[in-house]
Homo-oligomer: A and B are copies of this chain.
Amino acid sequence: MTLSPLQEARYEYQPKLPGMLRQGINEISVKTGEETSSVADQDKIKALFPNTYGKCEITFEKGQNTSENKKQVVGVILSGGQAPGGHNVISGLYDALKATNKDNVLLGFKGGPSGLIEDDYIEMTDEFINQYRNTGGFDIIGSGRTKLETEEQFEIVTKVAAKHGLTAIVIIGGDDSNTNAAVLAEYMAEHKTGVQVIGCPKTIDGDLKNEDIEASFGFDTATKTYSEVIGNIERDANSAKKYWHFIKVMGRSASHVALECALQTQPNICLIGEEIAAKERSLADIANYIADSVEARANNGDNFGVVIVPEGIIEFVPEFSALIAEINELLAGDKAEEFNSLVDWATKEHFIERGLTDKSMRVFALLPEFVQKQLFLERDPHGNVQVSLIESEKLISSLVADTLNERKIKGTYKGKFSPLHHFFGYEGRCAFPSNFDADYCYSLGYNAFMLIQYGYTGYLSKVSNLAAPAEEWVAGGMPITKMMNIERRNGEDKPVIRKALVELDGKPFNYFVSKRKEWSVKTCYTYPGAIQYYGPSEVCDATTKTLALEQK
């Protein structure tokens, strides 16, 4: 195996713990806070979690460790998409576990939740874990998207846990995985298995966030990586002065990633899905909004620019969602066969025109042909439109081009418009964690073990006051049920952790709004450059702009 110089150097990095966890295992005591209740639907959530609901918030503080002296056998899984720092959660967990008792055991179940079902695991050793400290990726044990949610799965997990003598399971995942962690914790408590369940908040999307969880891990590193390359593209745009770059970034359900990247790089335009939904913007509104910037800049002689688009943007446009729903309806069941039997696109277009409402037909007519065809020709096994396959950055730049052509005919716009397209997602999910994520994740893992050691279950590992230096961070735990409410999912009422969308009255968005008019006309680009792990503290220890603004 060939290691890069950076990987070798990063092995030497000692992640920073919150001050109260630095005295050594024997000097960590618990301070119990208030009883908690869920953010909404309290009665329903309480009824669903009789054994784990309403527990107290806790924080750790300096003091005599009074936890029970028993051998711990902990299982850990990584769930869902990669996020930088996952390896550090596991190494923090391992270090606290071994510091407490050398005979404690950490088992890593492989390939995500399915590893727990299939009993596919590895026992962690110093030698093994040392290869992964402060590195990106989830390759230490792999990850997967199997959902642990059925009674049948829980029975199998219980058997696997009994086989290994597991005392606890740590689930590192996003909102869905932590919802499932809470349900599993309740199951384990109800069945008196003696297995505790602790969750850790992971997702680069930044949408697992609430008054208790200030940030999900990975968001910091991923957005800094995207901002690095976006800044480089901005500098290229401002040097060549001839292209408009449309840059899509990951984030399907929420636009936190796009917003953070915009705060870091100050592009000409950044679309925020939540705003588009709230203000019921149409595709034409979006195209006009961007075209206004293109035109204003062209009037200044600047025929170049940068636009950031969140991955899920078109799903936030109400008229587009309505169109998709109609198409799904139009092709449901037998009707798909009829459509498929039509010989050519022209005939199919008649079929479409007859089938859609006037309003949706107007939206459909606006779309470039490659998207029109994609909507009807590429459908998933259930016959539904595959919205996620639509290259929204190309769709939007194409609508902007149409709008500019109309303005050219009218004589109001005289510039040149050459769009280029980019998509950044996989580029940032496995970067070496920033110092922030390396520290935060290690602390989350270390802290998760302390929650286990003190006997808690159904808790999320919580490290807060994150905009301050690590010394001042606060470590503790929060019952997952506190973050839950009831939502309708696939026709059923389900208890779930509420997904955090970009708040349109929040400080990060408001700051963006206060600046974006100027950014859309002038060239105010900021070039963050590559993540630095060494060097001046202001360069290598800065948090996200989102966190800084939220906590200011």
Complex interface bits, A519-537 against B, C-beta within 8 A gives 1, otherwise 0: 0000010111111111110
**Could you tell me the distance in whole angstroms from the C-beta of A337 to the nearest C-beta in chain B?**
23
Specify which of B135, B229, B539 is in contact with A9 (CB 8 Å cutoff).
B539
Q: Is B135 touching A431 in the complex (CB atoms < 8 A)? A: no
Query: Which of A142, A232, A536 neighbours the largest number of chain B CB atoms within 10 Å of its CB?
Result: A232
Q: Contacts of A82 on B, CB cut-off 8 Å?
A: 235-236, 239-240
Mark A537-549 against chain B: 1 for CB-CB distance below 8 A, else 0: 0111010000000
Segment 66-112 of A: residues with Cβ below 8 Å from B: 81-82, 111
A535 to B81, CA, bound (A): 31
Assuming the A-B contacts A5-B538, A9-B539, A530-B431, are A143 and B239 also in contact, with contact meaning beta carbons closer than 8 angstroms in the complex? yes
Q: Pick the contact of A229 from B8, B10, B229, B238 — CB < 8 Å?
A: B229
In the complex, whether A428 has a CB less than 8 A from a CB of chain B is: yes
Asked if A136 lies at the interface with its beta carbon under 8 angstroms from chain B, I say yes
> A454 at the A/B interface (Cβ < 8 Å)?
no
- Chain B residue with minimal CB distance to A78? B239
The interface residues of chain B lying within 8 Å CB-to-CB of A526 are: 2-4, 7
Docked pose: A351 CA to B431 CA in angstroms: 51
Residues of B within 8 A of A409 (CB): none
Q: How far is the CB of A420 from chain B (nearest CB, A)?
A: 7
- The complex is assembled from copies of this chain, and their number is 2
Q: With A526-B2, A534-B534, A539-B5 given, is the CB distance from A232 to B426 under 8 Å?
A: yes
> A142 contacts B239, CB within 8 Å?
yes
A231 touches B (CB below 8 Å): yes
A524 to B536, CA, bound (A): 33
- Does A482 interact with chain B (Cβ within 8 Å)? no
Query: Which A residues between 188 and 235 are near B, CB-CB below 8 angstroms?
Result: 225, 228-229, 231-233, 235
Determine which of B139, B428, B524 lies in contact with A232 in the assembled complex, contact meaning CB atoms within 8 Å. Answer: B428
The reply on A241 being an interface residue by CB < 8 A is yes
- Classify the secondary structure of A's interface with B: loop
Contacts of A524 in B (CB 8 A): 1-2
Q: How far is the CA of A8 from the CA of B537 in the complex (A)?
A: 12
Picked from B81, B240, B264, B530, the residue with its CB within 8 Å of the CB of A228 is B530
Output the least CB separation between A304 and chain B (Å). Answer: 11
A55 proximal to B (CB < 8 A)? no
User: 8 Å CB contacts to B: which residues of A502-522?
Assistant: none
A429 contacts the other chain (CB 8 A): yes
Chain B residues in 8 Å Cβ range of A7 = 526-527, 529
Q: How far is the CB of A115 from chain B (nearest CB, A)?
A: 12
Residue from A8, A266, A530, A534 with most neighbouring chain B CB atoms (10 Å): A530
Known A-B contacts A2-B524, A4-B528, A535-B535; A238 and B431 likewise in contact (beta carbons under 8 Å): no
Report chain B residues within 8 Å CB of A135: 235, 527
CB distance from A478 to the nearest CB of B (A): 28
Contact B527 A432, beta carbon cutoff 8 Å: yes
* A138 beta carbon closer than 8 Å to chain B: yes
Tally of contact residues, A, Cβ under 8 A: 62
The verdict on A487 contacting chain B, using a C-beta distance below 8 Å, is no
Residues of B within 8 A of A5 (CB): 536, 538-539, 542
Q: Could you say which of A1, A2, A4, A539 has the most chain B C-beta atoms within 10 Å of its C-beta?
A: A4
Which B residues touch A240, using CB under 8 A? 81-82, 138, 143
Most buried by B among A5, A7, A142: A5
Please determine whether B139 and A426 come into contact, CB atoms closer than 8 angstroms.
no
For the complex, give the distance between the alpha carbons of A143 and B239 in Å: 7
Q: Is A245 an interface residue (CB 8 A)?
A: yes
Q: Decide: A232 near B431, CB < 8 A? Known: A9-B538, A82-B239, A422-B426.
A: yes
Q: A527-B432, A530-B225 are in contact. Are A236 and B6 (CB under 8 A)?
A: no
Determine the distance from Cα of A139 to Cα of B232 in the docked complex, in whole angstroms.
Answer: 12
Cβ B427 vs Cβ A232 within 8 A: yes
Question: When the two chains form their complex, are residues A232 and B533 in contact, meaning their CB atoms are under 8 A apart?
Answer: no
Supposing A526-B3, A539-B6 touch, asked if A430 and B137 sit within 8 A by C-beta, the answer is no
Within 8 A of B (CB), among A396-420: 420
Q: A7-B526, A136-B527, A139-B235 are in contact. List 19 more A-B contacts (CB 8 A).
A: A2-B266, A2-B524, A4-B526, A4-B527, A5-B538, A6-B527, A6-B529, A82-B236, A136-B235, A139-B239, A229-B427, A232-B429, A236-B426, A245-B426, A344-B344, A422-B426, A432-B527, A432-B529, A532-B532
Please give me the 3 A-B residue pairs with the lowest Cβ-Cβ distance, nearest first: A534-B535, A530-B530, A235-B430
Give the interface of A toward B (CB within 8 A).
Answer: 1-10, 81-82, 111, 135-139, 142-143, 225, 228-229, 231-233, 235-236, 238-241, 245, 264, 266, 344, 420, 422-423, 426-432, 524, 526-536, 538-540, 542
13 sample A-B contacts, Cβ–Cβ < 8 Å, listed by A number? A3-B526, A6-B539, A9-B536, A9-B539, A82-B239, A136-B235, A142-B241, A228-B431, A232-B430, A236-B429, A236-B430, A422-B423, A530-B530
